[in-house]
A = this chain, B = another copy of it.
């Protein structure tokens, strides 16, 4: 009889995210206001759409397996060598490579409980031992506790998202730099900067290309290309070379490469997205205050609003879905009493606000 390897059999079947398409089928909904996955409501850059439209007829060609043009452009942007950039099919792909490359079965890996779940998914998938520490009470990853756990457990990889998802909290660059320097020298910091494009560059860590730091970036958020599946790592050339040994050699959609390249050439559009996103966050803050709710100030394209209890937050989320508004909620304390709503366009925000008002009036505290 055919059985998977022991390691794979031991992996629990989990689905980190249920997609909106499945939710729509289950609830028999025809339309959904998508505010659950931090997808950009502003779409890809018009330049990217134009470039991809032109190239659709050549989608019968494989994309460049080395992403040469895109890596050149990214190297210019990040003031580094193209060999320090590894392009993958989204951050999840690159994160999987990083975990597979550095976490063997039984190896410890460290993260914040309730942060972006794909790191944990990959660690479990590799048979690694996941050590998770809670957020601080304000929803910030607890760097002090992470540091002390790193000294105790000598994890192979320490995961930190900054800005964090789902909290939206941002740890200032000096604190990140101090944290990075203080980590044990044989722990690798996997710094997930999926939302860094919403942050002023002067607030971010400067370019550092050392073996014990891998930074993850994506075109899914500010660049509005989540469906394209393209992201990259800023890494030492040595680490990028290691990933080269295990990555899918032609894994990236050709049009994703073309769209990403065109996006980089449309800084005006990114700036527009960033400022509209800030405006949207302000709207959500105002709404929360109006409803007498706490919220977390966010540096990303989503906001967490306090519903006071996990149970009520879950009910609010479900009631919103029944009204055709899709959001998500954090899964672990202290954030599990919050709902997380992604930035939408002004009409989407209005729909959300009206639905939330109605739902809060209905769902008992």
Interface residues of A (CB under 8 A from B): 1-2, 4-9, 11-17, 19, 21-22, 25, 34, 37, 39-44, 49, 52-53, 56-66, 68-69, 89-90, 92-93, 96, 100-104, 107, 118, 121, 125, 185-188, 211-212, 220, 224-229, 239, 241-242, 244-246, 248-256, 259
Contact = CB atoms under 8 A, between A and B. Distances in A.
Contact of A226 (B4, B37, B53, B60): B60
Nearest to A238: B2
Contacts of A63: 227, 229
A17 B186 contact: no
B68 A22 contact: yes
Contact of A251 (B8, B44, B90): B90
A64 B64 CA distance: 25
21 contacts: A2-B212, A2-B239, A4-B102, A5-B107, A8-B242, A13-B245, A15-B244, A19-B65, A43-B59, A49-B56, A59-B227, A60-B226, A63-B227, A89-B248, A89-B251, A90-B248, A90-B251, A121-B249, A226-B254, A253-B253, A253-B256
Given A60-B44, A245-B8, A250 B2 contact: no
Count of chain copies: 2
B19 A34 contact: no
Contact of A245 (B11, B227, B242, B245): B11
Given A2-B186, A8-B246, A17-B249, A60 B89 contact: no
Nearest to A36: B62
A115 to B, nearest CB: 16
A221 B134 CA distance: 48
A28 B15 CA distance: 47
B66 A2 contact: no
Given A53-B53, A249-B17, A249-B121, A102 B5 contact: yes
Contact of A62 (B19, B69, B100): B19
Contacts of A52: 56, 59
Contacts of A37: 61-62
Given A2-B102, A4-B101, A5-B107, 12 more contacts: A1-B185, A5-B101, A5-B102, A14-B245, A19-B64, A21-B64, A21-B66, A21-B68, A22-B64, A43-B60, A44-B57, A90-B248
